[in-house]
Structure 1
Amino acid sequence: MLEEELHYLLMRAFHVSNREVAARVRQDGLLPGQPKVLEYLDEHDECTQKQLGEGCALDKSSITGLLARMDQQGLVRRQTAADDRRVSLVCLTEEGRKQAVRVRQGCAEVDARAWDGIPPERRAAFLQTMQDIIANLQNKGGKDDK
């Protein structure tokens, strides 16, 4: 049964959560993909485009297009790294910071709804299990890769 398959439940959970977050941020004029970029930059400001893509699980062409639109909207800016002029860093603008706060508030509301009625110890165990699952799936030397 699909309701007992991890890949299916992960897909369903992402879809439902993503739809709720998208509905909240659409009111602020954000496009798909932009909320996670804002949220990531809010914690990792002045990062490279490559770091941003890895942190948001986006490929190079997707992140390039997103950043171009976000730059036009005045949400991000690019600046040359002080220690290496070949490196370009992506930073939030003041408007980007304001939008990031709204995104985080919307995500917190969705998370609160998702966690409703689930005790803290089960939350902690679930989060640790999810981190373990991600690590297992990212592990290139796993037993299935041999």
Structure 2
Amino acid sequence: MSELSNDDIQAQLDAAISRSALLGRPGFLIRRLQQIHYGLFQDETRTYNITPVQYSLMTTLGTHGEMDQNTLAREIGLERTSVAEVIPRLEARELLLRRQSTQDRRVKLVKLSRKGLYLLKKMDASVQRAHDRTLEGIPEDQRQLFLLQMIKLVEANNDRGIAPFRLGKAEE
């Protein structure tokens, strides 16, 4: 990785910000990058008719198995009401199964169906292409550092979000 001096970094930032003041605002850049990734995700996965949120939900269920809707919301950092809106759509497509908990009838448990597991696996390459395309503008030798910096920002600010994201325990 070619090392940039602080002066080089500042000069590049100043040049970018001179084109638009918004380029100096992390919140704007994060929102804009999310919009770009959403478009790339849709471009790569259009034939599956799955949104990034639906894919996150399915990935979590595919990794952890059956869980209640509130836990699922925390696992993907989404409001419970949003999860409650997404689940019926996936259930209608027979991609997941929902049932009442035998311990607490108020609790709904969800898990991927066989069809959902199959679709999740089938989408892997398309989703990876969307992620790769999102990072295309960064040299390959800098992509892991970029991901690490994003992880640090999420971890440092996770408790300030609208919906908490359950972070696993860090390895020591």
TM-score class, shorter: 0.7 to 0.9
* 2:87 corresponds to 1:96: no
Residue aligned with 2:85, SS: helix
- Counterpart for residue 85 of structure 2: 65
Q: Where do 5+ consecutive residues of structure 2 fail to align?
A: 1-20, 161-172
Residue aligned with 1:108, SS: helix
The residue correspondences of 1:26-105 to structure 2 (distance < 5 A) are: 26-30=46-50, 33-79=53-99, 85-86=103-104, 87-105=107-125
- Counterpart for residue 130 of structure 2: 110
Distance in 2 (alpha carbons) for counterparts of 1:10 and 1:134? 12
Note the C-alpha offset of 1:32. 6.5
* 2:143 corresponds to 1:137: no
Note the C-alpha offset of 1:17. 0.5
Distance in 1 (alpha carbons) for counterparts of 2:44 and 2:135? 18
Is the 2:40–2:133 Cα contact (8 Å) retained in structure 1? no
Distance in 2 (alpha carbons) for counterparts of 1:42 and 1:111? 19
| TM-score (norm. length: structure 1) | 0.79
Is the 1:76–1:93 Cα contact (8 Å) retained in structure 2? yes
Q: Where do 5+ consecutive residues of structure 1 fail to align?
A: 141-146
| TM-score (norm. length: structure 2) | 0.68
Is the 1:39–1:104 Cα contact (8 Å) retained in structure 2? no
Cα RMSD (Å): 2.3
- Counterpart for residue 7 of structure 2: none
Between structure 1 and structure 2, the one with the greater Rg is 2
Note the C-alpha offset of 1:35. 2.1
